[in-house]
Amino acid sequence: MSLDGLAALLAAGLAAGAPIALAALGGLLTEAAGALSVALEGAMLAGAFAAAAVAVTTGNAALGLAAGLVAGALVGLLVGYAAGRLRADVFVAGLAANLLAPGAASLLSEEFFGTKGVIPAPALAGAPVFAVMALAAIVIVAAYSLTPFGLRLRAVGERNEAARAAGLNSGAYRLGAHLAAGAAAGFAGAALASKIGAFVPGMSSGRGWIALVAIYLGAKRPGGVLLASLAFGLLISLSNAAQAFKDAPAELFLGLPYLVTALALILGKALSARKAAGRGGRWLP
């Protein structure tokens, strides 16, 4: 591969990894608060749909992107409210949101646009989403690492009783984390819609789940999460580029990022169990 080809591959990997990284950093906030949200996939899809729907209705890309962020935040708010106020299991609430998002998008699409399929939104194409995602990532990392909010959020997740005894409202912090995570994933979904100038059903394609894996592969640290997300973006870019080869098994390369995701989950579970065994727990190989 030439240097130009390598540079193009890396650039494509960065572009593919950016939405994953933003969603993963948002999810990291919920993990730090002790209530990891698995609704990133649903929030991304909701954000993509809202961005396209508003952009095609108003002809304004900025309004479309803002709508994507708000839609994702609403998904996060729904999960946070269900887990906090209604005492629902946060994992079940997140799965419900992931199931609700595509169904709601299909119903709304048919109601307002007369289709359950693609919604073209050319106004979104070319919007400077990468710069906004980079800025948002910097804000999340700074808030997590350098502010009293991040310190208190981690205190809620690690020592909830002590945090409550110190006067912290753990429910409010967790709800705020879910809201921020949903907004980040929603904007990431809007960025996906902006890339092709349209909403396509299922266009998040498991990126929300990949973002969750990136949190653990990144050792639950902002820098590690960013690196893991960009590595997945490179895998996606590589799988897309490999389809250009005539004899390459397209299905294998398309499934490569998800195969790596599954392997990472299995390995992470095994390492966690072995670590628990080292603390006196039981581990079965």
Length of the chain: 285
* C-beta neighbour count of 141 within 10 angstroms: 18
Instruction: Tell me which residue has tokens 């350098």.
Output: 146
pTM (2 d.p.):
0.87
CA dihedral 144, 145, 149, 154 (to 10 degrees): 80
Per-domain residue ranges of the chain:
3-274
Of the candidate CATH numbers 1.10.274.10, 1.10.3470.10, 1.10.357.10, 1.10.760.10, the domain formed by 3-274 belongs to 1.10.3470.10
What is the pLDDT at residue 185? Answer: 98
Residue among 31, 185, 199, 55 nearest 124 (CA): 55
Q: Report the chain (285 residues): mean pLDDT per 10 consecutive residues.
A: 73 92 97 95 97 96 97 97 92 95 94 91 92 95 93 91 87 95 98 95 92 90 93 83 60 64 69 61 40
Amino acid at 99: L
What is the reported pLDDT for 281?
46
Contact 72, 184 (CB under 8 A): yes
CB atoms within 10 A of CB 106: 15
The answer to whether the Cα torsion of 140, 189, 55, 71 is positive or negative is negative
Q: Can you tell me the distance from the alpha carbon of 56 to that of 120, in angstroms, rounded to the nearest whole number?
A: 7
CA-CA-CA-CA torsion sign (106, 232, 179, 173): positive
Q: What distance separates the 2 farthest-apart alpha carbons in the chain?
A: 64
CA distance 24 to 184: 9
**Rg (the chain; Cα; Å):** 19
142 SS3 class? helix
pLDDT value at residue 284 = 38
